[in-house]
Structure 1
Amino acid sequence: MKLPELDSQIIDRILEMAWEDRTPFEAIKTQYGLQEKQVIAIMRREMKASSFRMWRKRVSGRKTKHLTQRDFIEGRFKSQNQKT
């Protein structure tokens, strides 16, 4: 798979977005034009092997990483314990 040439600041932002549980892969695609497979390849290349495995285990099957599987369309999660 061919990955586009990206500067270090963009790679850092992609890593940050991919690491966040509530940022869907579709948001990364919209912003940077990268498919989920490309994001995974960047994560594999840029992270330590153990960190990548931990991330993949956590992200696999997570509803919040895919817009079509989310229970909500937009907004932020708000805990019942959180004050207004």
Structure 2
Amino acid sequence: MNWNTLVAASFFAVLNVAAFSAHADVQAPSQTTSHGTHLDIKKVVSVVDNGGNCGIVDARLTYLDSSGTQKVLDYSKFAECGNQGG
């Protein structure tokens, strides 16, 4: 194996690693749901909301379905207020 072949192989290896890393950061487009929609959730990755005030807030659920595909669900929920009920 000569020097040029080694350099070319290393260059393509670095490009493949960079492309794979960039692909891993891409999230699935979010979906919305309505009452009665069936969700195929095998594992919850994260749940975040915009919080801040009591009442209804927007939230985002990132999860893996039974086939291992990462999905994102946007929904509304009641905020978790620290001073509920007295």
Q: Compute the TM-score of the two structures, normalised by the length of structure 2.
A: 0.22
The structure with the larger Rg is 2
| Bigger proportion of residues as helix | 1
Of Structure 1 and Structure 2, which has the larger fraction of its residues in strand? 2
Scaled by the length of structure 1, what TM-score is found?
A: 0.22
